[in-house]
Structures are given as C-alpha cells and as structure tokens.
Amino acid sequence: MSAPAAAAPVAPVGRLSATAPGRVVRSRSQRVRRVVLQVVAVLVAVLWVFPIYWMVNSSLQSSADLSGDPHFWPSPAELGNYSRILSDATFWSALRVSATVTVIAVAVALFSAFFAAVALTRFRFRGRTSMVITVLVIQMIPAEALFISQYRMLDSWGLINSVLGLGLLYAGHSVPITIWMLKGFVDGVPADLEEAAMIDGCSRPGAFLRITLPLLAPGLVASGIFALLASWNEYTLALVVMKDNSSATLPLWLARFNVANEATDWGAIMAGSTLVALPVVVVFLIVQGRMAKGLVAGAVKG
Amino acid sequence: MSTVSATTGRRTGRRPQWLTPLLLGLPALAVVLLSQGYPLVRQLVMSFQEFGLRQQFGQPPEFVGLRNYAAVFSDSVFWVVLARSIVFCAVCAALTMLLGVAFAVMMTRLVPAVRVVLQSAMLLAWAIPVLSSLTVWQWLFNTRNGLVNWVLVRSGLDQFDRYAWLLQGTTLLVIAGVIVIWMSVPLVVFMVYASLTQLDPEVLEAAELDGASGWQRFRYVTVPGVAPVLMLVGLLQIIWDIRVFTQISVLQDAGGVAEESNLLGTYVYQIGLGQGNYGMGSAVAMVMLVITLALTAGYVRSLVRQGATA
C-alpha cells in the first residue's frame, strides 16, 4: 500500500506534480491515515493543554464543588478564590519582592551584557574564541551545583533575605545567556554601516550610538524579557536565599501557600497559580517568536 | 575605503588593541566573577575542609584533604542517589526526545488549522511558570479528590482510591518525571519542527521515487538532515534533567518522602543547607558540577561545530 508502487511508473510526471502546491493525488488509505493523524494531533493538543485548563477551571469553583466529584466545567463560575488571593497581603508582598529582584537582575544583566556583546562582536582580540566558549560553559553551570557557597557568601555579607543579594545571583545567571543573545543581534548589524557614518565624520563610539544602537532596540527588548522571565520564574536560588516569608518571591510564595493550605483550599491555590502564570504567559506569547530567533541567531553565528 | 581602514588603524594604534574590549567586558566579568566565580572557588576550597555546625559557630574550618570526597564515595546513599539521578535523567530525556520528535514530524503533515491548535497548546505548556504547573499537577494527583485517582477508580482500578502518590519515592519520581517531560517536550517540538521545515523537500521526493518506504525516508533522509539539531536538543535535555531540582524539592515539601526520592540536587540541598554539613555538601556539589561540565563539553563542541558548518 506504499506510495512508491504507484509513483514509480510515471516517475517524471509524478515528480513534477509532487513539487507543485496542489500536491499529489492520494489513495483512499492515505486519506484515512491523514484524517487519523489530524485527530491524534488534536488529542495530543488537548492532553498538553489540559493541566492549564484544569488550573483555570478549578480556580473558578467553590471549595464545595472541588471537594466532591470533579466538575469539568465551572458552573456557576465564581471569582471568590481570586478575591481571597487579591486581598491577601502576602501575595502583594511577594509580588513586590519579585518585581524588585527582577528589575535589579534585568538592569544589571542587560547593561553589562550589552558592552560585553559589543566587545565580542566588534573587536578582534586574542582569546576572543575562548571568551565565547567560557560564556557558553558558565551558562550551563547549574544553580544546584553552587548554591551552598552562594548562600555562604551572601550570609557573610548580610545579604540573606535581601532583594539585592538575590538580584545579584539572578543577574550573574542571566549575563551569559544575555551576552549570547545580544551577540547574535549585534552580529546582525553590519559594521559597514558604522564605517559609513565614520566617513561622514562620526567618531567610532558616536557611530555606534547613532547607527547601531537604535537597530539593536528589538534585540535588547527580547533579551531583557528573556532575563525577566528567568528571574520571575526562578525557584531554587530564591529557596536558598529568601528564608523569611516576608521576603518570599512569587514562586516561593506559591509553594509555601500550597503547603500551608493543601487539602483545604485548592480553589485559592489554583487562583494563585493562575495569577502568577497570567502575566508571564502573556509576555511570553508576545515575544516568543523574536526570542527564538535571537537564540538561534546567537547559536548559529558562533 | 583604504582611507577608512587607515584611519581606524591609526585610531586603534594609539592604545593597546585589547584595552577597549577589556574595558567593555569589565562589567559583565565583574558580575559573573562575583556571583559565580568567587562562590565556585570558595566551594572548591570548602569541599576540602571540615565545615560543619561547629565551624558555623566560629571554629576556623580545618583542611582535611580528600576526606569529604572519601566520605561521599564510601557512602552507599550517595551511589543510590547518583544511580537514581542517572536513571531519572535517562528516562526523562529519552521520552522527551521520542515524543518531541514524533510530534514535530507529525506537525509537518497537519492541515494548517490543526497545526495551529497543536502549536498553541505546546506554546502554553512551554510558557507557564514551573511553580504554577507544579501546583496544578499536585492537584491532579491529589490523594483525596484529585482527578487522576478519580479517573483510575472510575476505570475499575479500585486500588487507586485515595492513593497517596507522594508517599512513595518511586511514584513521587514518576509524577516529577511526567511534569518534566510535559514541560520539556514543547521546546523539542519547536526546534525539531523548525529544522524539519528547512529540509529540502526535493531530496525526500527523490528518495520516494527511488523506492524508499516511509520509514526508510525518515531514517536515511530526514534524520541525518536534522541530526545536528537532534544532538543539540538531546544534549540539552540530558544536561537539564540530570540537575532537576525544583520539581523534586516542591513535591517533597508538599508532604512527600525525601529519602527515597532524592536526586543529586535535592541531596546537595539536604546535606549542605539542611544538615549544615557544608564540607560534604560541597563535595557532592563538585561531583555534580563535574558531571554537568562533562556533558556541557559535548554541548559546546556541537555548538562550535554547528557554527563552523553554518
């Protein structure tokens, strides 16, 4: 039943019609297979999105509804769980901590990585290749392999429970990947443009600031958001550094809220999870195309 | 053109060639050295020291040579944890790659509307923060009225009535594995699908005309065509899955058993920060670091090779 048997006798014609947009004429079994494949794909999609659906669905149900047999549709939908979370002071405190840490991390990472990316792309110097490889290797060091001494270091500096301490660690983890992404974007701007501006009388830094920097704005935004998402979602280092509940970041808050309320308030836990996820998912969906491009650009133009 | 290079030549000629890039790179260097370089050195030193509770209360740490490493390597618990981590990593990475590649190949044969549906579902699962997904997966596997137990009991498997998934190491790791695979597959799908669409369709058609079956075309044309991406993504999965921490740690904290479900990351946490044995914790962390770096060497090599051929 395989295709070659039918295609072989009319080889040249088959080849032409196959490359045409209209595609080849299919046999009945092929059509059936094709339909089955579409159905399987939809099932996979449902399976993959189901936990997210279940989170939102549960967040809109009362505790009474959640304690019995499962309801696959929230009827009637109620927002009580959300108002409970939004009137919880610990949620707002965690939101503030997360926002502050993220701003520190993104600002430091973006600023320092930007100049490093320029150094790597616009200058040829000895050890440049080993610099690039070092950046790649540092990027892969897992938080789990260093957190004992990072904890000790921050402890001896009085930076446990401090947004500054955690922000520094997050910035350190984001710098390599940010350099890597920005390098791809700077590579994408031809240096000829700067040289042309220099012929017109610009200094080298002037040419860079006036010509290249504006062209890099999308790259800066994309890599900034990448660092933002990484800091916003991070759990391990937050667990190590932020010991007090009053200094918890959102992921920590969610984990502790869950442990404290398990078996009593799943509706509120799901509402909290949804609230933590919502802004991240929205930002992610807006930038994912550009982010993937940046990663690929950085990865391919080694 | 020649005047331009002459002027730039003179400009850079005034100061040493390496000075400007060094100055530009200095802030990044400082941040990385402060947050990772210094802790790395400190941890290496600490792994050769007796550094427990007494040292935290003022006793100067004492160098004990390789005693921490000897203690780690002669502890059967470490070997169990290491073996468990390797098995967990191998199973998760293999299943992630298998499903990811299968879905990516499937995606090339979907009508546009269905493809968008599948892409959107994958994108959502990829975008959701790990802690949000962890809480909902816990709710799905909840002992008393989680959906999974309800469905299993409804299908006639009465032994799952009020089944406590987190109270056994194996089932806790199964849930963690399911979550890890669920959240890792989308990236594999997107990267492999992207490289599949870059393949020249004429080569596949030529193979078809030459009489190659569907499987042969996949095996001998498609797979070699996307091999660099498969290698890269596969290596990344292994690197990520050998160091998995968040899933295990959160499930343990939510009332799970720790001893039977520890992987390398949570084991380091438990010894070092839980029991305050920094010396021995550092030694295990160094072992973990060496494993990761060995894997990373493969990652870097394939990246560099890719860069060279691109």
Q: With 80 as the cut, is the pLDDT of residue B268 above it?
A: yes
pTM value is 0.87
User: So what's the pLDDT on residue B296?
Assistant: 87
Which of A40, A198, A284 has the CB atom closest to B127's CB atom?
A: A284
Split at pLDDT 50, 70, 90, the class of A290 is low
Interface contact flag, A41 B115, Cβ < 8 Å: yes
The two structure tokens encoding residue B281: 């914790």
pLDDT tens readout for residues A145-167: 899 999 999 999 999 999 999 99
With b meaning 16 or more CB within 10 Å and e meaning fewer, what string describes B234-249?
Answer: bbbbbbbbbbbbbbbb
Which of B128, B254, B268 has the CB atom closest to A148's CB atom?
A: B268
Judging contacts by C-beta atoms under 8 Å, the chain B residues touching residue A263 are 142, 144
Mean pLDDT, range A181-195, rounded to an integer: 85
Mean pLDDT, range A252-256, rounded to an integer: 94
Mean pLDDT, range B186-214, rounded to an integer: 87
- Cα angle A166, A170, A172 (rounded to 5 degrees) comes to 115
CA distance B260 to B279: 23
User: So what's the pLDDT on residue B133?
Assistant: 95
Which of B124, B186, B205 has the CB atom closest to A52's CB atom?
A: B124
CB-based contact (8 Å) between B136 and chain A?
A: yes
pLDDT tens readout for residues B102-149: 999 999 999 999 999 999 999 999 999 999 999 999 999 998 889 999
| Of residues B290, B272, B265, B187, the one with CA closest to residue A235 | B265
Q: With 60 as the cut, is the pLDDT of residue A11 above it?
A: no
Side chain identity at residue B243, one-letter code: R
Dihedral sign of CA atoms B72, B73, B77, B81 in order: positive
Q: Around Cβ B183, how many Cβ atoms within 10 Å?
A: 21
CB-based contact (8 Å) between B129 and chain A?
A: yes
CA distance A158 to A156: 6
Q: Which residues contact B271 (CB under 8 A, 6 or more apart)?
A: B277, B280, B281, B284
User: So what's the pLDDT on residue A263?
Assistant: 66
Q: With 60 as the cut, is the pLDDT of residue B2 above it?
A: no
Q: With 60 as the cut, is the pLDDT of residue B80 above it?
A: yes
Judging contacts by C-beta atoms under 8 Å, the chain B residues touching residue A258 are 135, 138, 254
Q: Is residue A196 a contact partner of residue A212, using CB atoms and an 8 Å limit?
A: no
User: So what's the pLDDT on residue B251?
Assistant: 94
Intra-chain end-to-end CA distance of chain A, in Å? 46
Interface contact flag, A276 B243, Cβ < 8 Å: no
Residue of B nearest to A281 (CA): B127
**Distance from B250 to chain A by nearest Cα, in Å?**
7
pLDDT tens readout for residues B8-49: 444 444 567 778 888 999 999 999 999 999 999 999 999 999
User: So what's the pLDDT on residue A23?
Assistant: 53
Which of A2, A126, A292 has the CB atom closest to B190's CB atom?
A: A292
**Distance from A277 to chain B by nearest Cα, in Å?**
6
Q: Around Cβ A95, how many Cβ atoms within 10 Å?
A: 16
Query: What secondary structure letter does DSSP report for B59?
Result: P
ipTM value > 0.85:
yes
pLDDT tens readout for residues B132-143: 999 999 999 998
CB-based contact (8 Å) between B252 and chain A?
A: no
- Which of A146, A242, A257 has the highest number of chain B CBs within 10 A, making it the mutation to test binding with B? A146
| Of residues A121, A105, A241, the one with CA closest to residue A191 | A121
Interface contact flag, B46 A144, Cβ < 8 Å: no
Q: Per DSSP, what are the bridge partners of residue B63?
A: B49
CB-based contact (8 Å) between B278 and chain A?
A: yes
Q: Which residue has the tokens 């596997």?
A: B141
Q: Is residue A179 a contact partner of residue B280, using CB atoms and an 8 Å limit?
A: no
Judging contacts by C-beta atoms under 8 Å, the chain B residues touching residue A175 are 28, 31-32
Mean pLDDT, range A67-93, rounded to an integer: 91
Q: With 90 as the cut, is the pLDDT of residue B97 above it?
A: yes
- Name the B residues in 56-85 with CB < 8 Å from any A CB: none
Intra-chain end-to-end CA distance of chain B, in Å? 29
Interface contact flag, A45 B303, Cβ < 8 Å: no
Interface contact flag, A14 B32, Cβ < 8 Å: no
Q: Is residue B244 a contact partner of residue B263, using CB atoms and an 8 Å limit?
A: yes
Tell me the CB-side half-sphere exposure of residue B44, using CA atoms within 13 A. 7
- Name the B residues in 173-232 with CB < 8 Å from any A CB: 182, 185-186, 190, 194, 201-202, 205, 208-209, 211-214
Q: Which residue has the tokens 């290496």?
A: B44
pLDDT tens readout for residues B224-249: 888 888 998 999 999 999 999 999 99
The two structure tokens encoding residue B253: 């904290």
Q: With 70 as the cut, is the pLDDT of residue A12 above it?
A: no
Interface contact flag, B127 A126, Cβ < 8 Å: no
User: So what's the pLDDT on residue A24?
Assistant: 56
The two structure tokens encoding residue A155: 């402890």
CA distance B227 to B176: 29
